Amino acid sequence: MTIATLRPGLQPRLLMCPPRHFAVTYSINPWMDPAQWADGAADLRACAARQWTALESALHEAGAAIETVAPREGLPDLVFTANAAVVLDRKALLARFRHPERQGEQPVFAAGFRALAARGLLDAVIEPPEYAVLEGAGDCIFDKRRGLFWLGSGFRSDAAAARLIEDTFGVPCLALTLADARHYHLDTALCALPCGSVIYFPAAFSAAALDLLHSHVAPHERIALGPADAARFAANAVCVGRTVVLSGCGETLRRRLEERGYTVVQTPLNAFMRSGGSACCLTLRLDHASEAAGAQSMLARRAAGLR
């Protein structure tokens, strides 16, 4: 898909941050090994730059518009913009990070979102209350087909943040307890596709969370990953129209996605996997709209004589 094939006003818009200062200099999840990174730092940094550029190009080719926030020295994980905020209906609820190592990102992202609002790309930028621990869209995934948020809790975000999400955006938010520290954020273990199918890694969730997920996602809409695809971060995918961009996947997953009408684009991101992130972690969707907002937009366009 190219930008030209997308309907006017529906071009997906993503926020990214170039990896100029990306590195693994501390450890706040099981994937991070600062000593191993230091052994090959120069080569790994160059690899990260190439892989990020390839991801950006793949997203452009799929039809996405890319906004960027400037990298900042001393904030190596700023590149993972998915954690910056939860965005829906032109409102951005800013993140509040659990670990001190990432809390320095908060004012940088806040300034970046206010700049987006000044350009007319957002209507509101909302500071979370101090009690709320919520690591943005990394743990809070919008499921457009069901009109709800899935919230990952247990490692980096609090289940209590579900109420804040509901109060802010006016849509339901269902908390799923994560049970495997390797899948510390929800976006490492779940991807809600536009068609209503959900990619997920069952072993990442508690039994109660799986029951809740299964009660809302019919069997034919479930795409369960095995350990090999989970280790490739296949659930950490970005959907742009009918294109799914991810770091890697097996043939079975590729076939199941193609059967649903998607084109699968694989672009290696192993440098970022050393920090526990992949394609979805490196992006934040800025244009998600709820059904109510979409209906209002359609009415406004009709009133203006547009289709």
Paired tokens of 289: 């709209």
d(CA 294, CA 303): 14
Q: What are the DSSP calls for 67-96, one per residue?
A: EE----TT-GGGG-GGGSEEEETTEEEE-B
Question: Which position among 185, 191, 280, 288 bears the catalytic label?
Answer: 185
Residue 185: active-site member:
yes
Question: Which position among 17, 191, 280, 281 bears the catalytic label?
Answer: 281
d(CA 119, CA 115): 6
d(CA 233, CA 230): 5
Cα 150 to chain centroid, rounded: 12
Q: Which helix (H) or strand (E) holds 192?
A: strand 190-192
226: left (phi over 0), alpha (psi -120 to 50) or beta: beta
Residue keyed to tokens 């069952």: 202
Degrees, nearest 5: CA angle 18-290-133 = 55
d(CA 86, CA 95): 7
Residue 140: active-site member:
no
Residues 125-148: b if buried by 16+ CB within 10 A, e if exposed: beebeeebbbbbbbbbbbbbebeb
Three-state secondary structure call for residue 251: helix
On the 0-12 / 13-18 / 19+ scale of CB atoms within 10 A, 266 is middle
Catalytic site positions: 185, 281
